[in-house]
Amino acid sequence: MGLFFSTDTDNGATISVWEITESEDELLKLCSVPSEELEELQFTKSTARRKELLAVRALLNEKFGGKVYLGHHDNGRPFLQNSLTEISISHTNRFACIITHPEESVGIDIESVKRNFTAVEKKALSEEEREDVSEKNRDIHLAIYWCAKEAVYKRMSRSDTDFAKQIFIKKFTPRDEGEITAYFTDKEGNEEEFELSYQIFNDHVMAWVVG
């Protein structure tokens, strides 16, 4: 399938999504992979995981012409080694996505709504958030909660974050797309507010935050 869609947000970010329908060999032929990333692929046992990594590289090639090198901080947060552009990455078996911004910190997450979110509900949601979950749209509601919290977590880039205690999502009604207010409280008690956007497509939820 290749590039599924690419869009520019109102706050200056670009989101690109790749649908992973190609074989591993097809993906390798589609993109120019730096030697460091090829080495990482060689140590990745899962074929699905290798395809996800290659789809991310295909997106980077699509946006930057293959002239960027991807690195990771000690906490796992990705960065571009030869560009000041901010980036966040997420992927599932079916889709890979990146969000970039020339200046602002960003975070993005994508999940299948068919995933079992039972453990997520117990560990990542506060009691108040659990009470707000709609029984009618339970799976989608939980998927949006998780994606939003993951996006904030990636944006903050803080290790040992307690999703249930430190990231709070204001009550919302699940829709095909929308905006959510989130709050991050650090361990010193300082709070930051974020406005996130989300979109549902092809049984997947994608949420992102800029700034």
Question: What are the pLDDT digits (tens) for 70-105?
Answer: 888 888 889 998 889 999 999 999 999 999 999 999
- Domain end (from 104, 128, 144): 104
144: helix, coil or strand?
Answer: helix
- Looking at residue 177, what is its pLDDT? 96
H/E stretch holding 121: helix 118-124
Q: Among positive and negative, which fits the CA dihedral 194, 200, 201, 202? A: positive
- Give the domain CATH number at 116: 3.90.470.20
Provide mean pLDDT across the span 10-32: 93
Q: Average pLDDT in the 47-60 region? A: 93
Residues 163, 195 within the same domain: yes
- Domain-terminating residue out of 80, 104, 128: 104
Nearest to 146 by CA among 186, 119, 177: 119
| For residue 204, pLDDT beyond 70 | yes
Q: Is the pLDDT of residue 117 over 90?
A: no
Both 118 and 200 in one domain: the answer is yes
Supply 156's token pair. 């903050």
Total count of residues recorded for the chain: 211
Residues 154 and 67 in one domain: no
Q: Domain range spanning residue 96?
A: 2-104
Q: How many domains are there within the chain?
A: 2
What phi, psi does 136 have (nearest 5°)? Answer: -65, -40
8 A C-beta contact, residue 6 and residue 14: yes
Q: Is the pLDDT of residue 66 over 70?
A: no
Residue 52 confidence class, pLDDT cut points 50, 70, 90: very high
Give the per-residue pLDDT at 2: 84
Band of pLDDT at residue 186, cut at 50, 70 and 90: very high
pTM across the whole model: 0.94
Please say which residue of 77, 104, 131 terminates a domain. 104
Q: Is the pLDDT of residue 118 over 90?
A: no
3-state secondary structure of 191: strand
Q: Are 115 and 173 in the same domain?
A: yes
Q: Which residues are CB-neighbours of 29 under 8 A, at least 6 positions away?
A: none
Across 115-131, average pLDDT: 91
